[in-house]
Structure 1
């Protein structure tokens, strides 16, 4: 019987994948996952948790600016703080307070996150929009084997179905969201903040203020506005591709928009067929015991 990772590769994921702790991951991250739970942390570490393509770059940059107290961009690409793709020694070089981001599930996180009561910020987004964005990324990027055409070479229908089944890299977005939604109940003493992509789109200044207050780092009202403006799509895209140290910037196929595609809401309607949307809605309802809210 094929493993879930093997099933993922059969449906079009053209990269080395393994099943570790019942979750599909890349072989590249496996060495770091083996030591993840016992990693040593600092009490002022900040964790941004998300499923890919839900606004991770956006929130990571905002939080770094809040920590710095101004609207200056962080020097490096956020990938230098990618928890499951960096060794403990590499991450130890980052000065405090460290702002990590991760796509791991709660049960895969370092135990000291909960013991030290580190601040955790989780990002959610309409999962259909996230799936579309991740599909575009994975059909235009291959950062593991440059000789391959792309990380995913299957069809859009295969990709949607794989997300429903959970046979995708990082597993299904539904299981990811469900697991993180339970943190306030499982770890009530851990400072936990929920950020919604769609709320950031509606009022980014208010969301910057909320994050600042959550982190216990209040700033002047004008700084909230400056941070929000600096982190809007076009400006952050320009800064990330032209101003930042490019050491941790992955390469893309010619013509790709890279990490920054559209940054909009509702694009899923241009991709999902009626049948695909209904299938996903059913899977959502089975997972969360409620109707699809978007």
Structure 2
């Protein structure tokens, strides 16, 4: 993504689409963005200087970003001697939403005017992004910093996205037609979409440079949280000394606990205008069965099979998950 001289000029030259009836999206280098996100992405591309010990969390929208932020924040706040830094007197997650501690480059950091000076931040720094791998600042790609990517079943991702953006609609408007959302998702016209291209970029890079990119599956994190969180902590250079440490951290960051904290039951996210509660719904694997019609599910399955063919990536099948079968490759 080469920085243009004018974002306005850039938008005038790009394909335009809409999502959820009136949310304008523009396509740049094969991916769709809201104008302010694209402008911030361009700014981050030219201004962000990665450090060797930075950690970047990456995800498509509605794939478990908030959960991953909480987990990685708590893992990295632990002291190097394996003593849990988040003790009872310093429960930081009870004070602020996870996004307060782990800011998204193109949604929070670089939408600020002027962008903040990040050079004074204490290392190791922790950021998040929804940008596809191809649009990441070159300094992230070329440094030794680590990337953790979380992927999720596309059907649950779609349903979570539908619920999330419905929060922007008034009671008079009612929910946006589900079939329209399915159509947009299948066509790739959604925030930072196409979904499958986004996932595959990070998957393919994780195969090339596994020491730099850890690929995590939402369903595996749900099914076997202790092993997955231990894998995450080891990758971040903060392995657990005892099983109990991992168990306590998993509880601290659990969806059930986070959604019931007062800070997340009240208040509004200042960057996107969403209530904090909108970031914590059910988190249930297979919830799509309660929302999508069988025909919708079959269509998405067909697209999934076609898009992932030959990649070696299996986005977890819900029935196999319920039967205790891991599809992590």
TM range (shorter): 0.7 to 0.9
> Which residue, 216, 220, 234 being the options, matches 1:195?
216
Instruction: Give unmatched runs, 5+ long, in structure 1.
Output: none
With normalisation by structure 1, the TM-score equals 0.84
Q: Which residue of 1 aligns with 2:288?
A: 268
Determine whether 1:19 maps to 2:27: yes
> Which residue, 216, 227, 230 being the options, matches 1:209?
230
Q: Which residue of 1 aligns with 2:81?
A: none
**What's the CA shift for 1:35?**
2.5
Q: Which residue of 2 aligns with 1:46?
A: 55
Q: Residue deviations 1:39-68, cap 9 Å, x none?
A: 211111101111111111111111111111
SS of the aligned residue for 1:28 comes to helix
Determine whether 1:62 maps to 2:81: no
Q: Residue deviations 1:87-145, cap 9 Å, x none?
A: 25255554321111111100100111121121111101111001100110011137xxx
Alpha-carbon distance in 1 for matches of 2:55, 2:234: 14
**What's the CA shift for 1:220?**
2.8
Q: Which residue of 2 aligns with 1:35?
A: 43
C-alpha contact (below 8 Å) 1:77/1:245 kept by paired residues: no
Q: Which residue of 2 aligns with 1:157?
A: 179
Alpha-carbon distance in 2 for matches of 1:211, 1:102: 18
Q: Which residue of 1 aligns with 2:123?
A: 96
Instruction: Give unmatched runs, 5+ long, in structure 2.
Output: 1-11, 79-83, 318-329
State the superposition RMSD in angstroms. 3.1
SS of the aligned residue for 1:82 comes to coil
C-alpha contact (below 8 Å) 1:77/1:249 kept by paired residues: no
The aligned length equals 283
With normalisation by structure 2, the TM-score equals 0.76
Q: Which has the higher contact order (CA 8 A, sep 6+)?
A: 1
C-alpha contact (below 8 Å) 2:154/2:300 kept by paired residues: no
CA pair 90-17 structure 1, distance change in 2 beyond 3 A: farther
Q: How does 1:1-294 map to 2 (within 5 A)?
A: 6-9=16-19, 12-38=20-46, 39-69=48-78, 70=84, 71=86, 72-74=91-93, 76-80=96-100, 81-85=103-107, 86-87=109-110, 88-89=115-116, 91-92=118-119, 94-141=121-168, 154-186=176-208, 188=209, 190-221=211-242, 222-239=244-261, 241-242=263-264, 248=270, 250-252=272-274, 257-289=277-309, 294=317
